[in-house]
Amino acid sequence: MKTATKLLAGAALLASSFSVAAPALSADELTLQLKWVTQAQFAGYYVALHEGLYEAEDLDVTINPGGPDIAPPQVIAGGAADVIVEWMPAALAARERGVPLVNIAQPFARSGMMLTCRADSGVSSPEDFPGETLGVWFFGNEYPFLSWMSQLGIPTDGGDEGVTVVRQGFNVDPLIQGQAACVSTMNYNEYWQVIDAGFSPDDLVVFNYTDQGVATLEDGLYVLEESLEDPEMVDKLTRFVRASMAGWTWAQENPEEAAMIVLEYDQTGAQTEAHQVRMMGEVNNLTAGSTGVLDVAAAETTVDSLLFGGDDPVITERPTGAWTSVVTDGL
């Protein structure tokens, strides 16, 4: 009996030791590819990471910054990301080319895109564009501009009747140095770079894409169709979107603190506190009121803008399956 008791006690101790040594289940890994460099444009994701909101959803999230030579659709198609931040025009164009991107959430409710021109260039209305040189972002960012020019009936291959397009990089130098009459800007970023360079608002003529009736949805979250065929991945994405939107809410309630968090993750050291705080305020205007649920009417307006853009539309067919509520239905 004593021997049996000792054996039972030993077995219990052994089982206890195994229980203590057993590793905890690891969090679900997920990689997010941003559309641009680390800045307040993406504050909601950095806040969710910094404040443990992803961790609370049992997620281990990696955020990869973008840049002028990084096209998120190519990144996700190559398997280097699970989710990307992308503008709908670029996503739909990529989808038509064979990359099956699907919008699963839309944190940005409004567009911040503008074309900013020097007043001394003589450009005061779209009718003045022909014969001018305009700075345009590429790698998918050119599609809203090309759609707008197509709707105006203005060729983009130069000449007196068309516009000459300059591939615009990370800065607004073509405008500042007089190499272009107008350049692409976002109301939360490049516009203020022009102001910081010494221009006053009176020195500029600004064409807001929303005011021109050609605004398209920006900064949505996209995945590949195959991700939505896996129930476990859908659950992971639902937790990711829920935590991300909580991060955006936190950023709206604490804009200066959110800007400081973004600066902590800026490994380039290129960003400044003043610029990020100002950007955070402008970005919050674009995300205000958003729950992450896509406004289908706004998506259809984006499609119409791209599809009916004259003789050379950005997309040639109305897309099917380009967005879904399967993720946001679970929020």
Q: Tell me 327's DSSP state.
A: T
* DSSP element (H, E) containing 167: strand 164-167
pLDDT tier at 21, thresholds 50, 70, 90: very low
Q: In whole angstroms, what is the distance from residue 148 CA to residue 142 CA?
A: 10
123 and 198 assigned to the same domain: yes
Q: Which of 164, 189, 208 is the last residue of a domain?
A: 208
Q: What is the mean pLDDT of residues 173-179?
A: 96
The SS3 of residue 292 is strand
**pLDDT tens by residue, 54-89:** 999 999 999 999 988 899 999 999 999 999 999 999
**pLDDT tens by residue, 193-207:** 999 999 999 999 999
Percentage of the chain surpassing pLDDT 90?
83
234 and 99 assigned to the same domain: yes
Percentage of the chain surpassing pLDDT 70?
92
227 and 90 assigned to the same domain: yes
Cβ atoms within 10 Å of 59's Cβ, excluding its own = 21
Q: In whole angstroms, what is the distance from residue 241 CA to residue 257 CA?
A: 21
191 and 234 assigned to the same domain: no
Rounded to 5 degrees, φ, ψ at 28 are -75, 125
Residue at 6 is within a domain: no
100 and 139 assigned to the same domain: no
117 and 200 assigned to the same domain: yes
Q: Is the pLDDT of residue 318 over 80?
A: yes
Structure tokens at 301: 């307006």
79 and 135 assigned to the same domain: no
Q: Which of 190, 208, 226 is the last residue of a domain?
A: 208
Q: What's the number of domains the chain is made of?
A: 2
Cβ atoms within 10 Å of 188's Cβ, excluding its own = 21
Q: For position 78, what pLDDT does the model report?
A: 98
Query: What mean pLDDT, rounded, does the chain reach?
Result: 91
Q: In whole angstroms, what is the distance from residue 259 CA to residue 281 CA?
A: 9
Residue at 23 is within a domain: no
Q: Is the pLDDT of residue 262 over 50?
A: yes
C-alpha distances in angstroms, 326 versus 105, 212, 268? 10, 33, 37
104 and 222 assigned to the same domain: yes
142 and 102 assigned to the same domain: no
pLDDT tier at 14, thresholds 50, 70, 90: very low
Q: For position 238, what pLDDT does the model report?
A: 98
- State the CATH number of the domain containing residue 169: 3.40.190.10
Nearest residue to 149 (alpha-carbon basis) of 301, 306, 299 = 306
The SS3 of residue 186 is strand
Q: Is the pLDDT of residue 177 over 60?
A: yes
Residue at 9 is within a domain: no
Q: Is the pLDDT of residue 287 over 60?
A: yes
Q: In whole angstroms, what is the distance from residue 247 CA to residue 275 CA?
A: 20
Q: Give the range of the structural domain holding residue 199, as residue numbers without chain letter.
A: 113-208
Q: For position 170, what pLDDT does the model report?
A: 76
State the sign of the Cα–Cα–Cα–Cα dihedral 92, 94, 99, 104. Answer: negative
Q: Which of 176, 208, 240 is the last residue of a domain?
A: 208
pTM: 0.88
Q: For position 311, what pLDDT does the model report?
A: 67
Burial of 128 (0-12, 13-18, 19+ CB in 10 A): middle
- Of 140 and 154, the structure prediction assigns the larger pLDDT to 154
201 and 186 assigned to the same domain: yes
pLDDT tier at 305, thresholds 50, 70, 90: confident
